[in-house]
Chain A
Amino acid sequence: MVDFRTRKGEKRLLNGTGIGLVCVAIAALMLFILPKDDPRITSLRQQSLDFLEPALELVTWPVRRVRDVSGWMSNLSRMSEDIEKLKSENQAMRLIVEAASRDKALLAQYRRLLSLPTEADIEIAGARVVADLRSPFVKTLVANSGAQNGLSVGQAVMGDRGLIGRIISVGEETSRILLVTDFNSHIPVISVTSNVRAIMSGRNQPDPVLDFLPRTASLEDGEKLITSGDGGNVPIGLPIGVVAFDDSGNPYVQLNDNLDQLLHVRVVLASTPGPPRQEARKSGQGQTR
């Protein structure tokens, strides 16, 4: 067996301090020279996550089980209260379903009359969160679905009740989700009541803010926000949250989903529209693919 102890009189090319300084110098060079957004580094990160996914699953399994059990216990203690709440919600829901089915029929008629193209049916794929990579610097999650399951970069990701982020890289078996609270997340949104368009931007804090609001915009507290579909990256109409105002009167978004409680997510498998075709642009037809 190899003995790793220091032996007296052993000759070394470098002593401990020398090795340390070389390592620190290499690390500092890596930190300040390598670009963070280099596709090769992104690919390396994704491949590492694919490789480490079984280890991540194994190591985080006890934590997930404890959360499952504690969630089950708290559900059990609130069961009778929840049943009463569900009964009343169910009654209200029946009326809403009736109204919605009437509206759906009407909408189909209007679409036919106006010859509007119908939105593609949204296909959803489920995935489980295997790692939470949130830190003071980034807000991302790792899901255990990848290219094998039809996922691709740019697809929108939803929690139980609304949009929570987008896929930023995909491996064979895993994918990384950039949360809407991340500093690099910018999603076009529209308010449901006043039709005000804005960009929802993350700021590495629990609630994203609304940027690029028109000067004349008059948003109301509690107004619902949905995705506007501008840019074509995220499908139109996905619920996000409601508008709220901080003490200084600046609007921010209270998300429908609690990002801390996410164990499962839904990926919207809508395809991202490509750029206009060259021939179409030349001929002035303006068709898009």
Chain B
Amino acid sequence: MSSFSQFQPQSRRDLLVSYLAIFILILLEHAPLGNYWLSAMDIGIFFIPIFFLARVYDGPWGLFGIMLLGLVKDLTSETPLGFWVLLFCLFFMLSSSQRQFLVNAGFRTVWSTFVFICLLTYGAYYLISMVHTDLPASVLLTGLSAFATMISFPLVYLPFAWVQGDEIGFRRG
């Protein structure tokens, strides 16, 4: 099995699988869960495959696809157009900037980096909702959403890494 540093999505199919996973997770967020707190939060589990894609993919289409998916999220979430597009782009760029740092990194380091980027992204989420008149800001819900996203990382990342043939998820450190 190849090491992480050598891993790259080898084809259009791999890229599409990542996009499909993000798309499905965006739609899954709208499942009627039957719980007030789960429904009221914006748990960004779709950030996990975006993080994966940003780490392993260095092509020109990555960000355009992410932008389009952000637009889908905006259309289905009733948020002003551009809100999730901006957050998706920001998250993707922050994750891409850590690509070199994460070469040969173990799972704990990867998770810590995800937590750090998540905090920055949800910070931006809160700031935008503070300045935009159509978005009532809530510190509690933003904080809970960020926390839920961070702790759900292994649940989505490990199966996804396994499917994509990335062994980083199974390495300690």
- Interface set of A (CB-CB < 8 Å, partner B): 1-6, 12, 16-17, 19-20, 23-24, 26-32, 34, 36, 41, 44-45, 48-49, 52, 55-56, 59-60, 63-64, 67, 129, 131-138, 140-142, 176, 183, 204, 206, 259-263
Contacts and interface: CB of A to CB of B under 8 A. Distances in A.
Interface string B95-118: 010000000000000000000000
Contacts, number: 164
Contact of B63 (A23, A32, A132, A183): A23
B48 interface: no
B75 interface: yes
Interface in B35-84: 35-36, 39-42, 57-61, 63-64, 67, 70, 72, 75-83
B132 interface: yes
B36 A206 contact: yes
B129 A137 contact: yes
- Most chain A beta carbons < 10 A, residue from B32, B40, B135: B32
B86 A28 contact: yes
Contact of A27 (B34, B70, B141): B70
A16 B60 CA distance: 7
A176 B76 CA distance: 11
A27 B75 contact: no
B78 A45 contact: yes
A45 B76 CA distance: 7
Contacts of A63: 28, 31-33
Nearest to A261: B34
Given A41-B81, A59-B31, A133 B132 contact: no
Contact of A60 (B30, B79, B138): B30
A30 B82 contact: yes
In the complex, the 5 A-B pairs of residues with the closest C-beta atoms, listed nearest first:
A30-B82, A31-B82, A27-B86, A63-B31, A60-B31
B76 A52 contact: yes
- Most chain B beta carbons < 10 A, residue from A1, A30, A129, A138: A30
- Most chain B beta carbons < 10 A, residue from A28, A36, A176, A206: A36
A179 B59 CA distance: 43
Nearest to B86: A27
Nearest to A134: B39
A16 B62 CA distance: 10
A260 B41 contact: no
B90 A24 contact: yes
B78 A4 contact: no
A135 B148 CA distance: 14
Contacts of A59: 24, 27-28, 31
A32 B28 contact: no
B164 interface: no
A260 B39 contact: yes
Interface stretch (B7-15, B155-163, B165-173): B7-15
Contact of B82 (A3, A34, A132): A34
A228 B72 CA distance: 38
A137 to B, nearest CB: 5
5 contacts: A20-B96, A41-B81, A49-B75, A204-B138, A260-B33
A64 B32 contact: yes
B41 A136 contact: yes
- Most chain B beta carbons < 10 A, residue from A59, A137, A142: A137
